[in-house]
Amino acid sequence: MKTSEPPKHSRILILDFGSQYTQVIARRIRECQVYSEIVRFDTSAAEIAAMQPNGLILSGGPASVYDKGAPQVDPEIFSVGIPVLGICYGLMLMAHHLGGGVVFTGRREYGAGVLHIANQSDLFDGLGDQLDVWNSHGDEVTALPKGFRVAGTTEGCDFAAVEDAKRKLYGLQFHPEVVHTPRGKEILQNFVYHICRCAMDWTMGSFIEEACARVRKQVGDQKVVLGLSGGVDSSVTAALLHKAIGDQLTCIFVNNGLLRAREEEVVQRVFGENFHIKLKYVDASERFLSKLRGVTDPEEKRKIIGNEFIRVFEDAIVDLAKTDDGSPVADHKFRFLAQGTLYPDVIESVSIEGNPAQVIKTHHNVGGLPEKMHFELVEPVRQLFKDEVRQAGLQLGLPKEIVYRQPFPGPGLAVRILGEVTPERLSILREADTIVQSEMEAADWYYKVWQSFAVLLPVQSVGVMGDQRTYENTIALRIVESRDGMTADWVRIPYELLARISNRISNEVKGVNRVVFDISSKPPSTIEWE
Ligand code: XMP
């Protein structure tokens, strides 16, 4: 098969000093259609030079340059001729290493300020005389290194923006990457286009072409297997791999009996019928439900589902490698396992005390690898952020229903049925869930929120229907907004919509006589109830 090396792109490297905004910087740069990558703060100047970036950005971070063990930079990076933009802590390091003065103020300054632009810096080209900016810093520059001059001041800070245009070194005390610096993106654009001379060559079209070439090169004529969940990441991975290697890809879709109503139909229709992807559908509902019988502990449920998934997946692979008469076929072996790993999962998190990003770990990933099968991994979207994966999905022809669907947990409806999971309780929850989703969609709210779903509580209460007293189940509605699932708040959706959902559930779902609305934020609550 003909393969070619992907062309070299413009690229910006971001040295991560532990700021909670490091990934935001990377995304902003990519929004400028320039490829960006996050590397550890202690990457050496030689390694950096070998990666041939057009420019470097030193992120902010929680440390003071005077802290014991404060993350340091290889000072050589300031003299290898690559443009550098230091943001906040990044600026402090630059000033500190190049002979300027930095003081530890002992207080962190947060909040809005106004930057007065001076000396016509290239960084602020086209931005007028003053800008609203957002500060969050502890140290402050008190004296400029040799060769530097002021490019902007704020009320509290004479060195809010500084530069040595000759050496292409720039520093900002404030954060251009956050939304509270409304024209920050233009500052970053000036840096990447005018100062670093980057081309706008990071587009989804070029990414897809190159990712396909990379996959072809990696797998040759071998077969690849992918666990397709129907979620965004595995769906886009499937579509991309199918474009790259066609029938060398087989997807396995496991029905664990804990899916939403008709989910298995949707997945088979989209991937099997529309995309003509080789899809093995495994209905393992019985296996999962019998293992879950009598189990009420949430962690126990998750463990059972995770372990069972691996077993079912392994069995399915063994099955695929057999001929019709059951004998194994040598060329049917799968050497490669594909996964929809995303960029935020692969960025090595910098562990610095006080770094909020450090405490946040993805605590779930049900359906881990069948390790003993010794697969080689194929991870074609591992360079992408979530919003980029969605763009890629649309470009590959996936429907909006898949690309913008709300997250759905691996253990499925089991974590939304408090207490024992039984076929009856699953059926109640499925009906309620279908009503929630269809009303949210009809009212144009489905795509505006992070998640909207029903939870079946192990609480029965008294109701009245006609002349009869009832004693039946309670459904809780959970509708939340969130950026990444780490924190969340309940959505103030219109009362009319709540009323419609509630009426429909109590009228149409047999076994439910009460609907309540969850008004807890995360923290302290979680999004799922288990
Ligand atoms: P919590 O309940 O921890 O959920 O606030 C945060 C986000 O993660 C999803 N979630 C899961 N996703 N496997 C997953 O793939 C899981 O076991 C799991 N548990 C929770 C949840 O839906 C929310 O979006």
Same-domain check for residues 161 and 228: no
73-109: b or e for each residue (b if 16 or more CB lie within 10 Å)? bbeebbeeebbbbbbbbbbbbbbbbbebebeeeeeee
Catalytic residue among 88, 157, 196, 198: 88
Compute, in angstroms, the gap from residue 3 CA to the centroid of ligand 1. 39
Question: Is residue 412 one of the residues assigned to a domain?
Answer: no
Q: Pick the residue with more confidence: 137 or 360?
A: 137
332 a catalytic residue = no
Specify the residue with its C-alpha closest to ligand 1, atom 14: 409
DSSP string, 323-339: -TTS-B-GGG-EEEEE-
Is pLDDT of 331 > 60? no
Same-domain check for residues 385 and 508: no
Fill in the DSSP letter of residue 522.
B
Question: Mean pLDDT, to the nearest integer, of 338-361?
Answer: 68
DSSP string, 136-196: EEEEEEEEPPTT-EEEEEETTEEEEEEEETTTTEEEESS-TTSTTSTTHHHHHHIIIIIIS
**pLDDT at site 352:** 57
Q: Which residue has the tokens 């935001």?
A: 24
Please say which residue of 373, 403, 433 terminates a domain.
Answer: 403
Same-domain check for residues 224 and 309: yes
Same-domain check for residues 281 and 370: yes
Catalytic residue among 97, 137, 175, 242: 175
Indicate the Cα dihedral angle 494, 498, 500, 501, nearest 10°.
140
Question: Is residue 5 one of the residues assigned to a domain?
Answer: no
The per-residue pLDDT for range 32-48, each reduced to its tens digit, is 999 999 999 999 999 99
**pLDDT at site 503:** 98
Residues with Cβ < 8 Å from 141, sequence gap 6 or more?
91, 92, 95, 100, 101, 102, 157, 159, 162, 171, 173
**How would residue 5 be classed by pLDDT, with cut points 50, 70 and 90?**
low
Q: How far apart are CA 492 and CA 515, in angstroms?
A: 17
Is pLDDT of 359 > 50? no
The answer, yes or no, to whether any atom of ligand 1 lies below 6 A from the CB of 451, is yes
**pLDDT at site 498:** 98
175 a catalytic residue = yes
The answer, yes or no, to whether any atom of ligand 1 lies below 6 A from the CB of 366, is yes
Question: Is residue 383 one of the residues assigned to a domain?
Answer: yes
* Sheet with strand 249-255: strands edge to edge: 278-283, 249-255, 223-227, 334-338, 376-378
**Phi/psi zone of residue 244: left (φ > 0), alpha (ψ -120 to 50 degrees), beta?**
alpha
**pLDDT at site 358:** 39
Compute, in angstroms, the gap from residue 22 CA to the centroid of ligand 1. 23
The answer, yes or no, to whether any atom of ligand 1 lies below 6 A from the CB of 43, is no
Q: Pick the residue with more confidence: 259 or 347?
A: 259
Compute, in angstroms, the gap from residue 528 CA to the centroid of ligand 1. 6
Q: Pick the residue with more confidence: 386 or 109?
A: 386
Same-domain check for residues 213 and 187: no
Tell me the CA distances in angstroms from 260 to 206, 437, 458, one per residue in order. Answer: 35, 10, 19
Q: Which residue has the tokens 């959505």?
A: 491
263 a catalytic residue = no
**pLDDT at site 160:** 95
Tell me the CA distances in angstroms from 290 to 256, 313, 319, 440, one per residue in order. Answer: 11, 17, 22, 33
Please say which residue of 137, 162, 195 terminates a domain.
Answer: 195
Same-domain check for residues 133 and 265: no
Strand partners, 143: 101
**pLDDT at site 367:** 45
Catalytic residue among 32, 97, 137, 177: 177
The per-residue pLDDT for range 361-390, each reduced to its tens digit, is 333 443 455 566 689 999 999 999 999 999
The answer, yes or no, to whether any atom of ligand 1 lies below 6 A from the CB of 485, is yes
Question: Mean pLDDT, to the nearest integer, of 1-11?
Answer: 65
Same-domain check for residues 242 and 147: no
Q: Give residue 43's identity as a one-letter amino acid code.
A: T
Question: Is residue 3 one of the residues assigned to a domain?
Answer: no
Q: How far apart are CA 173 and CA 91, in angstroms?
A: 7
Same-domain check for residues 498 and 426: yes
Specify the residue with its C-alpha closest to ligand 1, atom 20: 409
Fill in the DSSP letter of residue 32.
T
Q: How far apart are CA 122 and CA 187, in angstroms?
A: 9
Specify the residue with its C-alpha closest to ligand 1, atom 22: 409
Q: Which of 528, 529, 530 to mutate to test the pocket of ligand 1 (most atoms within 8 A of CB)?
A: 528
- How many domains does the chain fold into? 3
Please say which residue of 142, 172, 195 terminates a domain.
Answer: 195
Specify the residue with its C-alpha closest to ligand 1, atom 4: 527
Q: How far apart are CA 311 and CA 164, in angstroms?
A: 60
Q: How far apart are CA 157 and CA 116, in angstroms?
A: 10
Fill in the DSSP letter of residue 355.
-
Q: Which of 416, 527, 530 to mutate to test the pocket of ligand 1 (most atoms within 8 A of CB)?
A: 527
Specify the residue with its C-alpha closest to ligand 1, atom 12: 409
Same-domain check for residues 80 and 128: yes
For the whole prediction, is pTM greater than 0.75? yes
Is pLDDT of 1 > 50? no
Question: Is residue 437 one of the residues assigned to a domain?
Answer: yes
Compute, in angstroms, the gap from residue 306 CA to the centroid of ligand 1. 13
Residues with Cβ < 8 Å from 443, sequence gap 6 or more?
494, 497, 500
Residue 529 CA: nearest ligand 1 atom is 2
Question: Mean pLDDT, to the nearest integer, of 189-195?
Answer: 98
Same-domain check for residues 302 and 262: yes
Compute, in angstroms, the gap from residue 409 CA to the centroid of ligand 1. 5
Question: Is residue 477 one of the residues assigned to a domain?
Answer: yes
Residues with Cβ < 8 Å from 426, sequence gap 6 or more?
257, 258, 413, 417
The answer, yes or no, to whether any atom of ligand 1 lies below 6 A from the CB of 410, is yes
**pLDDT at site 427:** 98
The answer, yes or no, to whether any atom of ligand 1 lies below 6 A from the CB of 518, is no
Range of the domain at 380: 204-403
Question: Is residue 4 one of the residues assigned to a domain?
Answer: no
Question: Is residue 177 one of the residues assigned to a domain?
Answer: yes
The answer, yes or no, to whether any atom of ligand 1 lies below 6 A from the CB of 409, is yes
Specify the residue with its C-alpha closest to ligand 1, atom 19: 409
Residues with Cβ < 8 Å from 515, sequence gap 6 or more?
474, 475, 476, 477, 501, 502, 505, 506
**How would residue 137 be classed by pLDDT, with cut points 50, 70 and 90?**
confident
Identify the CATH number of the domain in which residue 302 sits.
Answer: 3.40.50.620
Identify the CATH number of the domain in which residue 437 sits.
Answer: 3.30.300.10
Same-domain check for residues 268 and 376: yes
Identify the CATH number of the domain in which residue 139 sits.
Answer: 3.40.50.880
Same-domain check for residues 179 and 254: no
Is pLDDT of 360 > 60? no
What is the residue-averaged pLDDT of the chain?
Answer: 92
Residue 530 CA: nearest ligand 1 atom is 2
Q: How far apart are CA 304 and CA 333, in angstroms?
A: 28
